[in-house]
Structure 1
């Protein structure tokens, strides 16, 4: 057993003894009680030394763990709480703690309408009642689209990842004429730009499935689950968004932003590899190193006339073509 878990069991045992007004406990008695509690938990002999109990009592008295327990010695050898109502399991909070908890509650309440957080509503309400929250107007607002298709699947997908369940999903991509069944091994739920994706293992390859394109989910209980050694930070580290190529290497993307819009890109970088190459009166030139994908192009096009791609040529030509098509659309209306 870890030393931390040992300590928690000892503290719980000492707390029980110190608030017991029907028995007197010496230091040796407390040693025996702690040793017995550890034996009951571990199923093997565990001797708690005098020094260990003394240090535990000292820690409980101190501010180290926020207890500040009123432990006293009476009749020169017995230990107890001077306050018979005290217990280390009572929440001791000050005004600063209450403010911090109230702020956390306001953030949690932003998620209560999502199905995956429905069971937390009661917990949030209890917390709100406990800290006597009187704040009626929300001062933190997180962006969410409650009408987005596929949110109803988050619960079952989340549980499938946690429980390591294989799923049979009826999926229709934007480019497909018909929906097809896929047997997948869920690995991760990923949110990007207000859309949710399931990262899953399918036919010896990782896929990302948009939840708004899922039409049906079934559990495949008879199929063994394949768990991948999946590090999300590393997997998505070379891309913007969720589209990752197993064969494409990251490239240096050099782009120029008008000076008046450059602060937006500086304070909210396109990617963690972003760096400034050059600054002049009218523009700031940046570089990022990423794979070329759909999300990168959407991000660039969203900047409109404020951005100019310099490298690579392939990306520059694709953006130029998209802008030309957009211009042609405006010419026809």
Structure 2
């Protein structure tokens, strides 16, 4: 086995005196073998994936390990382009708060966030108990509970101006917030405890149906009916109706039509009419 390449050794082992084994090359050592191509490829893939954690200070030691691995790989083989790529936006505002928020959550620390929504001219301070940073479409949101009224909501990191510890108010857990179940019926991040769950049915045309079937809009999605004549498919899913849901439906353009519930049909019709009106305006060329 050691003579073969099954273990990656290809050791130059020879027999002498009909009963002893030794390396034909006395300087040979299995501890000084170069990496096999398979070892290199697997390690390079792992490094590419581990680099995604570089934004967190909690993984500083891991970043050092990754740096050393990259150096080793560069020496062992010529540089190559990554073969696995993750969607990232390094220019996204608010990423600097990821590390402090992670530490505040880990240490169960009440915090005060200076927060400025897009429609507010000045930031406002919110004192909250932080629970979970969540990423959606390459943007980060902090799920937290406001200390004044115990209301659960999320804050976008790109609208945070400052985050500081608040040691005057003791940290409290939210026993009703369980991430493993809270996000099961939501597309995106917009949801409150009182947001109702509804059954949505929508029709996708021949062009869009295969994409939606292979990449479901939600884990609850199912096929209700296939139209053999025009190739359209009737889908159903159980979700909360929020901004992200409507944005996703609108992204399919004329390829998708919501048929129920009536409130969703009414909302999407209003949004489409307003969009069409912008192009029908006489001010447009």
TM normalised by structure 2 equals 0.78
CA distance in structure 1 between the aligned counterparts of 2:63 and 2:77, rounded to whole angstroms? 15
- The structure with higher relative contact order (CA 8 Å, sep 6+) is 2
2:265 maps to which residue? Answer: 316
Q: What does residue range 118-137 of structure 1 map to in structure 2 within 5 Å?
A: 119=60, 120-130=62-72, 132=76, 134-137=78-81
Unaligned runs of 5+ in 2: 1-30
Deviations 1:273-330 (A, max 9, x none): 0000111132111000011111101111111111101001111111111111111111
Deviation at residue 146 of structure 1 after TM alignment: 1.2
Unaligned runs of 5+ in 1: 1-89
- Asked if 1:288 is matched to 2:237, the reply is yes
CA distance in structure 2 between the aligned counterparts of 1:134 and 1:167, rounded to whole angstroms? 47
1:242 maps to which residue? Answer: 189
Larger proportion of helix: 1
Q: What does residue range 48-127 of structure 1 map to in structure 2 within 5 Å?
A: 95=36, 96-110=38-52, 112=54, 114=55, 116=57, 119=60, 120-127=62-69
CA distance in structure 1 between the aligned counterparts of 2:78 and 2:237, rounded to whole angstroms? 46
2:145 maps to which residue? Answer: 201
Deviation at residue 233 of structure 1 after TM alignment: 2.1
1:270 maps to which residue? Answer: 217
Deviations 1:122-145 (A, max 9, x none): 221212344535442122221111
CA distance in structure 1 between the aligned counterparts of 2:52 and 2:100, rounded to whole angstroms? 21
Determine helix, strand or coil for the equivalent of 1:186.
strand
Deviation at residue 217 of structure 1 after TM alignment: 1.2
Deviations 1:199-225 (A, max 9, x none): 112131211100011111111123211
Match of 1:216 among 139, 142, 162: 162
Q: Could you say what the CA RMSD is over the residues aligned between the two structures, in angstroms?
A: 2.5
Deviation at residue 252 of structure 1 after TM alignment: 0.5
Q: In 2, are the aligned partners of 1:201 and 1:226 still within 8 Å (CA)? A: no
Deviation at residue 260 of structure 1 after TM alignment: 1.4
Q: In 1, are the aligned partners of 2:153 and 2:192 still within 8 Å (CA)? A: no
CA distance in structure 1 between the aligned counterparts of 2:156 and 2:106, rounded to whole angstroms? 19
TM normalised by structure 1 equals 0.67
1:186 maps to which residue? Answer: 130
Larger Rg: 1
Deviation at residue 110 of structure 1 after TM alignment: 4.9
Q: In 1, are the aligned partners of 2:128 and 2:144 still within 8 Å (CA)? A: yes
